[in-house]
Every structure is written in C-alpha cells, then in structure tokens.
C-alpha cells in the first residue's frame, strides 16, 4: 500500500525531521555567539573556534579520540574483511556466524559498555587506551563488515577464476584481483568504523583511564559546568567531521569502477 495515500503523511514526516534536526541547527548557530551565555545571542563571532584550537585539554582529548578511532577502525576493518571473505560461500553455521558479527548493532550500547567493563575488570585488564581500543574494535566490526560484504556480494567470481586459470595462486589472486575490486567497500567500511569510534561516548566513558579522555567524554564533563558556545563549537566541528566522513563512505560504497 502506498503510504503517500494516508492523510498528513507529508506533514508528519516534516515534523519528525524538524524535531530531529532543528536542535542541531540551533546548536550550530549558537556556536558563533560572542556571548559566553549560550542562550543569549549578541553578535556573530569566531572567537570560540579560535579558543578550542588553543585549549590544551581539548587538544589532548582530540588526539586521544583520533588515535583510538584510527587503531580501532584499522583492526575492525581487517577482521571484517577476513569475516566477509570467510562467509562468502555457504557452510554450516553461516547464518549464525553472520548474526554474531552483527550482534553489536542490536544490543543496547549501555549493556555492552557495562558488560565490557565487568569483563576487563575480572580479567585484570587495566582501563585506558588499550582497553578502549579492544572494546571499540569489537563494536566497530559490523559497521565495517556490512559495506565490505555488500561489495563482495556484487562481485562476479569470474575474475578470480580467470586469474587462477592463468596460474595465479590464491594469495596472488587476492592481492592483484580481489582486493583492488573490494577496495571501495573496504574504505567505506573503514570510514564508517572510524566515525562510529570517534563519536562513541558510553564505552569510552566506562573504560577511559587517567590521561585517556576522549572528545565526547570531555564534552560531557564540560557540560556539567554549564553549556557555553565553546561546547557548541566543539560539537559543531565533530558534526561536520562526521557528515564529511559518512558522505565519503556513501560515495565510496557507490563506486562501480
């Protein structure tokens, strides 16, 4: 049944989109507010953006977030690539394996974060950057797996068969044929995993140690003292980075050549 035939479908859709995105627009607008009080507009200014660039705490949190996201996304993409290649052909338990790989997409993040914390404490793993990299790698795997698997499903096996007919072994076939064809999907998966890790708060909040505060955790801690245009500026920068990376992932996922 065509949903457009229902009354007020367009109006309800517009209202939902406005409810979701008007706060983001307001936050972005007030990041240019010269007044220190975030809710009182005086005039436009870029002072808060200049201030976050010279704040050592923000610089340290940004560096921690970049290191964490880079390490976790590289590891998650590598594991997702191997999993996609392993589940390419049918075998007993294939559907179960794919369900387990996609399980982090279904489970509530707060449950995963608390369970991971309890697991690391019981195993004696020190909280900090290393623990966060392990946890972020685990929940970033499905975000990297789905684009790679979609790209792999769209590839014809005739290319690999032709390479093997020309006496290329499996490793050479993978390196010279399969991987170049999979590269857009791999980069799309890496980008999605990077964005997911960069924006994560709950897992980082539970597992961070001294000196390993990430940018989302820093923003949460700063909000306790009151919302300022400086917080709005940091949030706007993270929003723009996320939009750019997600757009890049979408573009890479649609490459056909």
Q: Does some domain include residue 31?
A: no
Averaged pLDDT for residues 206-231: 83
Three-state SS at 44: strand
Cα distances (angstroms) measured from residue 95 to each of 78, 87, 103, 156, 186: 21, 9, 12, 22, 22
Domain extent at residue 214: 55-253
Q: Does some domain include residue 28?
A: no
pLDDT band at 4 (very low <50, low <70, confident <90, very high): low
CATH code (residue 61):
1.10.3720.10
Q: Does some domain include residue 241?
A: yes
Q: Does some domain include residue 177?
A: yes
Angle between helices 9-30 and 229-253 (to 10 degrees): 130
CB 35 within 8 A of CB 229: yes
Distance of CA 207 to the CA centre of its chain: 18
pLDDT digits (tens, 9 = 90+) for 84-123: 888 877 777 778 888 888 888 888 888 889 999 999 989 8
Cα distances (angstroms) measured from residue 54 to each of 51, 65, 66, 226: 5, 17, 17, 20
pLDDT digits (tens, 9 = 90+) for 128-179: 889 999 999 998 999 999 888 888 887 777 777 788 778 788 888 888 888 8
Q: Does some domain include residue 8?
A: no
Q: Does some domain include residue 178?
A: yes
Q: What is the pTM of this model?
A: 0.82
Q: Does some domain include residue 17?
A: no
CA angle 47, 51, 57 (to 5 degrees): 160
Cα distances (angstroms) measured from residue 219 to each of 100, 187, 234: 33, 29, 8
CB 257 within 8 A of CB 49: no
Nearest 5°: phi and psi at 130? Answer: -65, -45
Indicate the number of domains in the chain: 1
pLDDT digits (tens, 9 = 90+) for 26-73: 888 888 887 777 677 777 778 888 888 888 888 888 899 999 999 999
Beta strands in the chain (DSSP E): none
- Note the helical H segments in 87-169: 94-101, 103-106, 109-123, 129-153, 158-165
Q: Does some domain include residue 166?
A: yes
């Amino acid at each position: 049944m065509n949903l457009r035939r229902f009354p007020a479908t367009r109006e309800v859709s517009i209202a939902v989109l406005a409810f979701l995105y008007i706060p983001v627009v307001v936050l972005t607008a007030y990041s240019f507010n010269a007044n220190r009080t975030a809710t009182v507009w005086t005039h436009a200014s870029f002072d808060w953006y200049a201030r976050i660039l010279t704040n050592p705490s923000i610089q340290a949190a940004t560096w921690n977030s970049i290191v964490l996201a880079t390490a976790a996304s590289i590891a998650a993409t590598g594991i997702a690539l191997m999993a996609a290649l392993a589940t390419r052909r049918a075998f007993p338990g294939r559907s179960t394996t794919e369900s387990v790989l996609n399980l982090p997409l279904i489970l509530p993040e707060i449950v995963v974060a608390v369970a991971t914390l309890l697991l690391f404490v019981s195993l004696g793993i020190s909280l900090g950057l290393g623990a966060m990299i392990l946890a972020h790698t685990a929940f970033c795997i499905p975000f990297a797996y789905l684009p790679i698997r979609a790209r792999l499903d769209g590839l014809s096996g005739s290319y690999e068969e032709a390479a093997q007919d020309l006496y290329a072994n499996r490793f050479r076939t993978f390196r010279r044929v399969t991987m170049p064809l999979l590269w857009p999907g791999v980069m799309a998966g890496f980008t999605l995993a990077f964005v997911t890790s960069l924006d994560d708060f709950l897992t980082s909040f539970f597992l961070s140690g001294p000196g390993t505060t990430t940018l989302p955790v820093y923003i949460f801690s700063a909000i306790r003292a009151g919302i300022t245009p400086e917080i709005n500026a940091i949030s706007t920068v993270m929003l723009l980075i996320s939009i750019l990376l997600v757009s890049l992932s979408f573009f890479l996922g649609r490459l056909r050549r």
